[in-house]
Chains A and B, each alone.
Chain A
Amino acid sequence: MAALRRARRGAGSGLCRTLRALSGKKNEYDLLVIGGGSGGLACAKEAAQFGRKVAVLDYVDPSPQGTTWGLGGTCVNVGCIPKKLMHQAALLGSALKDAHHYGWNIAQPVHHTWSVMAQAVQNYVKSLNWGHRVQLQDKKVKYFNMKGSFSDPHTVRGLTKAGKETIVTADNIVIATGGRPKYPTHIAGALQYGITSDDLFWLKESPGKTLIVGASYVSLECAGFLTGIGLDTAVMMRSIPLRGFDQQMASLVTEHMESYGTKFLKRCFPTKVEKLESNRLQVTWKNTDLGTEETDSFDTVMWAVGRAPDTKTLNLETVGVKTNSETGKIIVDASEATSVPHIYAIGDITEGRPELTPTAIAAGKLLAQRLFGQSSELMDYDSVPTTVFTPLEYGCVGLSEEAAVQCHGSDNIEVFHAYYKPLEFTVAERDATQCYMKMVCLREREQRILGLHFIGPNAGEVIQGFALGIKCGATYPQLMKTVGIHPTCAEEVTKLHITKRSGLDATVTGC
């Protein structure tokens, strides 16, 4: 396979390499990683464990609004970490409301100050940036704060902010440059006046009355915590929420958000954004259901309409790394190899892979182990669990109901489901209407579990262990043999017994 690839290689790069080999010039590094995010850093540190000479290039192009950040990539700076912390801030707001039912006397009104939260979050993120720098140092990985682009398959040109150039050569190169939020540049004013998740977490002042455009988990999670901290928030969706996720669960998520206080502008899309004298933003949009044009003003407009890989400046064409023409993502095989030998890619930038930190980290580590540790283990992307951290969280692993039906036919699958009420909601008099779970199984004798979906508090904690079970080929009978832990939400998974097919009421009753 490798030989075939070598034969197919372009003459130009082959000549370059041969020349270098003839001249006896060795590559400076065993491994060069372009992109210091979840995948890149994991790969670099793992390779260093094998005593290899490793370098990492990391550079953040400022956002159109001028936001930039340190080492660590999206997850640490403008993704998972600040997102979960702000989500926690919102959850604590709910906890404050619950507290008085539980006997805590707190004088009303209670209010939230953005800058206190933002500063705390930003300080923590900065400590992580620092931590990563120290870790790289400890593991003797060379770090360059430079933007990289390919000169040839083993040579990368790094540019500092000031324009200083450094040439880095390596035997193996891993591209892990991730993605950045997309701007709907066809909408007037979108680029000048809108922000994205790249900016939201670094705002020094409260975003105020906010419109978030998009139906992605980014959109819903951000809208969720903004609502939770008391801001007037609206989500504008062109069509369905959480495309790609189980749609019944997606509806429950948005239903909860609506009852929680987030406004939804469904089946609408924006046509222009203008700045008013008051410095507020006037957004005009089309309501496709009513066929009308509507308008409202906001303090902040945030675009959450998808993310795109930043590959243009990498010069991939020069070295022949193939990308998907539609998405721009790098095409890789099961071993994360690109179309060019010794050039690999991991993380959000790769085509057909989940855009998740843990998969990038795992892929990066395994890649390093294969390159330098005599391992042959490939990354298993099957049944990767995930969680959407909306006000009522949604955790899932495996197939959605739609996908299972499509794959196996509705006659061949059984869906067990239940509406339940977390014990903590009872005394707090909280609405548990959308607390729901379902398990999609194969109907045939063994009843193997194809997918598990859970909406409720701590969804991620609930799903993690079951994801492992599914990796072990868990079946419905095995789950039923597992005794529940009482009182928890997760125990309801082990008690699922009402099928959708039966049409019976799936509400969990007493103890």
Chain B
Amino acid sequence: MEMNGLAPVPDSYDYDLIVIGGGSGGLAAAKEAAKYEKKVMVLDFVKPTPQGNSWGLGGTCVNVGCIPKKLMHQAALLGQALQDSRKFGWQFTEEVKHNWMTMTESVQNYIGSLNWGYRVALRDNKVTYENAYGEFVGPHTIKATNKRGVEKLYTAERFLIATGERPRYLGIPGDKEYCISSDDLFSLPYCPGKTLVVGASYVALECAGFLAGLGLDVTVMVRSILLRGFDQDMANKIGEYMKEHGVNFIREFVPTKVEQLEEGTPGRLKVTAKSTTGDQIIEEEYNTVLLAIGRDPCTRNIGLDKVGVNINEKTGKIPVSDEEQTNVPYIYAVGDILQDKLELTPVAIQAGRLLVRRLYAGATTKCDYVNVPTTVFTPLEYGACGYSEETAVEKFGEENIEVYHSHFWPLEWTVPSRDNNKCYAKIICNIQDNERVIGFHVLGPNAGEVTQGFAAAIKCGMTKEQLDNTIGIHPVCAEVFTTLSVTKRSGENTLVSGC
């Protein structure tokens, strides 16, 4: 791959770089390229959902992902805080109700400010932005079609595909007509009411979690396991907690049809589901059905065949080199559409920025996809970095790993007397490599804040010994990691007693 940091741009191209997709990865790359005085264009377009929903510049994270998700999760947490506060001496009316519209309006206003902020940032960085759907029509050439159907052609020396993904539908009668997805939930102009969430992804569990926290009757329908790909020990604990906190679970069933009983905002829907292990059929009525069974990359209708970019035909994902280059040398890709990479905003941003620095600033640093930390914002949050217990056992052998673990009780939960011995900390160490910590898992409040620093330490190659030598901050949840002593192997009790 040749680097083009200093050679002048051939006059024949309209742009140095055209970015298709104005989400986390695309915008980060575009702004970075503009820093090196490159002529950059961003094409961003949101095809409306089956329910007719659309949104502004910024991609999934800003509009229908991380941001609204975390804000609604916060709303649910505040509901719990209200209950706790009475035990801490606060007094107010017994009857506390949640108003969906107030919350959604606040959230949407904030998102609107972010959309606006991105438009301004692009303008300030002299990046050309068009709200148009981009697709390749030939080498170095892209067609941009706007909302009104007006088409324009543009050429660029290089392209970055960052079109992300959209929620998958079940392919059963009534799914597109009556069901919603995460693309619709965060701007729903009415309270969803009694909700069925179909799926066991983090999207499903996070949404089910906050909907229940806001006081709604929520059921999660799971085909097989929870949080596939995550540590299953932790996944099950998350499910247990949600069950104990009022979320209903229907395990080993899949919906076969969705019918509308009554129109409305919300309406009434009848869901028929079939068991995956037998012949049993069940029916139930809900106001809303939220599908969260997975996401599909937006790579099928952007003309990749016209320029010869290979995609995985089954999944639609784009395989890239460790420098985010596709099989076509002048076409790169970042973000959720990449094969075998994590679907996370910070990863997309990091990859996008580093790619651009390599292209235009003579840098050599590649994106480090190893030990990327993540957090699932379920009612009991789960932060993780590195190997799950299963993959560690698979890779290193059970006899070569040591798992240290402990339950803990956040001090703030003692006075309201809730959830003792639900929070849990676990690290996985490689015995053959100085007990190097290869997996970090925490289930508890503020899991993301806790996990971040440990992820940095894992990058520095932390060992169990170094962990033990670190003094804890008292009294916080994170300190539990500095005093882990019970191993899973020993079978000893990890339930908490006192200070």
B222-245 interface (Cβ within 8 A of A): none
Please name all residues of chain B whose beta carbon is closer than 8 Å to the beta carbon of A104 when the two chains form the complex. Answer: 75, 78-79, 82, 96-99
* B452 and A105 contacting across the interface, CB-CB below 8 Å: no
Q: A427-B106, A427-B110 are in contact. Are A387 and B476 (CB under 8 A)?
A: yes
In whole Å, how far is B457's beta carbon from the nearest beta carbon of chain A?
A: 4
Question: Considering the chains assembled together, what is the distance between the CA atoms of A473 and B58 in angstroms?
Answer: 37
* B411 and A111 contacting across the interface, CB-CB below 8 Å: no
* B346 and A474 contacting across the interface, CB-CB below 8 Å: no
In whole Å, how far is A58's beta carbon from the nearest beta carbon of chain B?
A: 14
Question: Considering the chains assembled together, what is the distance between the CA atoms of A359 and B471 in angstroms?
Answer: 6
Please name all residues of chain A whose beta carbon is closer than 8 Å to the beta carbon of B368 when the two chains form the complex. Answer: 481, 483
Question: Considering the chains assembled together, what is the distance between the CA atoms of A183 and B383 in angstroms?
Answer: 45
Q: A465-B454, A485-B448 are in contact. Are A103 and B88 (CB under 8 A)?
A: no
Q: A88-B411, A462-B453, A488-B375 are in contact. Are A102 and B460 (CB under 8 A)?
A: no
Question: Considering the chains assembled together, what is the distance between the CA atoms of A482 and B473 in angstroms?
Answer: 22
In whole Å, how far is A415's beta carbon from the nearest beta carbon of chain B?
A: 18
* A486 and B345 contacting across the interface, CB-CB below 8 Å: yes
Count of chain B residues with a beta carbon within 8 Å of a chain A beta carbon: 91
Question: Considering the chains assembled together, what is the distance between the CA atoms of A483 and B28 in angstroms?
Answer: 14
Q: A464-B472, A472-B466 are in contact. Are A96 and B90 (CB under 8 A)?
A: yes
* B452 and A493 contacting across the interface, CB-CB below 8 Å: yes
Q: Which of A81, A102, A105 contacts B411 (CB 8 A)?
A: A81
In whole Å, how far is A363's beta carbon from the nearest beta carbon of chain B?
A: 10
* Residue of B whose beta carbon sits closest to that of A473: B460
B40 at the interface (CB under 8 A from A): no
Q: Which of B70, B456, B476 contacts A479 (CB 8 A)?
A: B456
Q: Which of B90, B412, B472 contacts A358 (CB 8 A)?
A: B472
Q: Which of B84, B99, B350, B461 contacts A483 (CB 8 A)?
A: B350
A466 at the interface (CB under 8 A from B): yes
Binds A, one of B61-69, B127-135, B141-149, B393-401: B61-69
Q: Which of A84, A110, A483 contacts B373 (CB 8 A)?
A: A483
B93 at the interface (CB under 8 A from A): yes
Please name all residues of chain A whose beta carbon is closer than 8 Å to the beta carbon of B58 when the two chains form the complex. Answer: 511
B462 at the interface (CB under 8 A from A): yes
A407 at the interface (CB under 8 A from B): no
In whole Å, how far is A489's beta carbon from the nearest beta carbon of chain B?
A: 6
Question: Considering the chains assembled together, what is the distance between the CA atoms of A100 and B375 in angstroms?
Answer: 26
Q: A104-B79, A485-B383 are in contact. Are A478 and B460 (CB under 8 A)?
A: yes
A453-511 interface (Cβ within 8 A of B): 458, 460-469, 471-474, 478-479, 481-491, 493-494, 509-511
B103 at the interface (CB under 8 A from A): yes
Q: What 0/1 pattern do residues 106 to 135 of A give for CB contact below 8 A with B? A: 110011111111101100100010011001
Q: A96-B92, A485-B374, A511-B345 are in contact. Are A76 and B102 (CB under 8 A)?
A: no
Question: Considering the chains assembled together, what is the distance between the CA atoms of A385 and B478 in angstroms?
Answer: 12
* A482 and B459 contacting across the interface, CB-CB below 8 Å: yes
* B448 and A488 contacting across the interface, CB-CB below 8 Å: yes
Please name all residues of chain A whose beta carbon is closer than 8 Å to the beta carbon of B414 when the two chains form the complex. Answer: 85, 124
* Residue of A whose beta carbon sits closest to that of B452: A490
* B99 and A105 contacting across the interface, CB-CB below 8 Å: yes
Q: A72-B499, A131-B499, A464-B479 are in contact. Are A88 and B412 (CB under 8 A)?
A: yes
* B449 and A511 contacting across the interface, CB-CB below 8 Å: no
Q: A128-B498, A486-B344 are in contact. Are A114 and B89 (CB under 8 A)?
A: yes
Please name all residues of chain A whose beta carbon is closer than 8 Å to the beta carbon of B62 when the two chains form the complex. Answer: 511
* B478 and A485 contacting across the interface, CB-CB below 8 Å: no
* Residue of A whose beta carbon sits closest to that of B411: A84
In whole Å, how far is B72's beta carbon from the nearest beta carbon of chain A?
A: 8
* B449 and A461 contacting across the interface, CB-CB below 8 Å: yes
* B85 and A92 contacting across the interface, CB-CB below 8 Å: yes
In whole Å, how far is B305's beta carbon from the nearest beta carbon of chain A?
A: 32
Please name all residues of chain B whose beta carbon is closer than 8 Å to the beta carbon of A468 when the two chains form the complex. Answer: 453-454, 457, 462, 466-467, 470, 481-482
Interface centre among A75, A113, A467, A473 (most CB of B within 10 A): A467
A439-462 interface (Cβ within 8 A of B): 458, 460-462
B432-466 interface (Cβ within 8 A of A): 446, 448-457, 459-462, 466
Question: Considering the chains assembled together, what is the distance between the CA atoms of A404 and B315 in angstroms?
Answer: 52
* A112 and B90 contacting across the interface, CB-CB below 8 Å: yes
In whole Å, how far is B191's beta carbon from the nearest beta carbon of chain A?
A: 10
Count of chain A residues with a beta carbon within 8 Å of a chain B beta carbon: 89
A168 at the interface (CB under 8 A from B): no
Question: Considering the chains assembled together, what is the distance between the CA atoms of A510 and B24 in angstroms?
Answer: 10
Question: Considering the chains assembled together, what is the distance between the CA atoms of A481 and B459 in angstroms?
Answer: 8
A19 at the interface (CB under 8 A from B): no
In whole Å, how far is A275's beta carbon from the nearest beta carbon of chain B?
A: 28
* Residue of B whose beta carbon sits closest to that of A94: B81
Please name all residues of chain B whose beta carbon is closer than 8 Å to the beta carbon of A424 when the two chains form the complex. Answer: 70-71, 74
* B473 and A471 contacting across the interface, CB-CB below 8 Å: no
Please name all residues of chain A whose beta carbon is closer than 8 Å to the beta carbon of B329 when the two chains form the complex. Answer: none
Please name all residues of chain A whose beta carbon is closer than 8 Å to the beta carbon of B292 when the two chains form the complex. Answer: none
B87 at the interface (CB under 8 A from A): yes
A295 at the interface (CB under 8 A from B): no
Q: Which of A113, A229, A469, A483 contacts B344 (CB 8 A)?
A: A483
Q: A121-B415, A426-B110, A469-B456 are in contact. Are A509 and B121 (CB under 8 A)?
A: yes
Is chain A's interface secondary structure helix, strand, loop, or mixed overall?
helix
Q: A426-B110, A474-B457 are in contact. Are A99 and B90 (CB under 8 A)?
A: no
Question: Considering the chains assembled together, what is the distance between the CA atoms of A359 and B347 in angstroms?
Answer: 37
* A93 and B97 contacting across the interface, CB-CB below 8 Å: no
* B449 and A131 contacting across the interface, CB-CB below 8 Å: no
Q: A92-B81, A468-B462 are in contact. Are A103 and B383 (CB under 8 A)?
A: no
Question: Considering the chains assembled together, what is the distance between the CA atoms of A423 and B466 in angstroms?
Answer: 32
* A482 and B78 contacting across the interface, CB-CB below 8 Å: no
Q: A106-B93, A110-B91, A120-B415 are in contact. Are A467 and B78 (CB under 8 A)?
A: no
Interface centre among B27, B450, B471 (most CB of A within 10 A): B471
* Residue of A whose beta carbon sits closest to that of B105: A103
B114 at the interface (CB under 8 A from A): yes
In whole Å, how far is B12's beta carbon from the nearest beta carbon of chain A?
A: 34
Please name all residues of chain A whose beta carbon is closer than 8 Å to the beta carbon of B457 when the two chains form the complex. Answer: 465-466, 468-469, 471-472, 474
A98 at the interface (CB under 8 A from B): yes
* Residue of A whose beta carbon sits closest to that of B117: A510
Question: Considering the chains assembled together, what is the distance between the CA atoms of A80 and B460 in angstroms?
Answer: 31
* B118 and A485 contacting across the interface, CB-CB below 8 Å: no
Question: Considering the chains assembled together, what is the distance between the CA atoms of A341 and B384 in angstroms?
Answer: 47
Question: Considering the chains assembled together, what is the distance between the CA atoms of A357 and B383 in angstroms?
Answer: 26
* A465 and B455 contacting across the interface, CB-CB below 8 Å: yes
Q: A485-B448, A510-B118 are in contact. Are A106 and B82 (CB under 8 A)?
A: yes
Please name all residues of chain B whose beta carbon is closer than 8 Å to the beta carbon of A359 when the two chains form the complex. Answer: 471
Q: What 0/1 pattern do residues 328 to 364 of B give for CB contact below 8 A with A? A: 0000000000000000111101100000000000000
B474 at the interface (CB under 8 A from A): yes
Q: A458-B449, A463-B473, A483-B372 are in contact. Are A132 and B345 (CB under 8 A)?
A: no
A59-107 interface (Cβ within 8 A of B): 72, 75-76, 80-81, 84-85, 88-89, 92-93, 95-96, 98-107
Please name all residues of chain A whose beta carbon is closer than 8 Å to the beta carbon of B85 when the two chains form the complex. Answer: 89, 92-93, 95-96
Question: Considering the chains assembled together, what is the distance between the CA atoms of A362 and B114 in angstroms?
Answer: 46
The 7 closest A-B pairs by CB, nearest first: A465-B453, A103-B103, A117-B89, A464-B478, A131-B498, A490-B452, A460-B476
Q: What are 27 residue pairs bridging A and B, where the CB atoms are less than 8 Å apart in the complex?
A: A75-B474, A81-B475, A89-B88, A92-B85, A96-B81, A96-B85, A96-B90, A102-B71, A110-B92, A118-B89, A357-B474, A423-B67, A458-B449, A460-B473, A461-B449, A465-B455, A467-B453, A471-B469, A479-B459, A481-B459, A482-B452, A484-B346, A487-B66, A487-B67, A488-B449, A493-B452, A511-B62
**Known contacts A110-B92, A482-B452, A509-B117, then 5 further A-B pairs from the complex at CB < 8 Å, ordered by chain A residue:** A76-B499, A92-B88, A104-B82, A461-B477, A469-B459
Chain A residues in contact with chain B, CB under 8 A? 38, 72, 75-76, 80-81, 84-85, 88-89, 92-93, 95-96, 98-107, 110-118, 120-121, 124, 128, 131-132, 135, 229, 356-359, 362, 380, 384-387, 395, 423-424, 426-427, 458, 460-469, 471-474, 478-479, 481-491, 493-494, 509-511
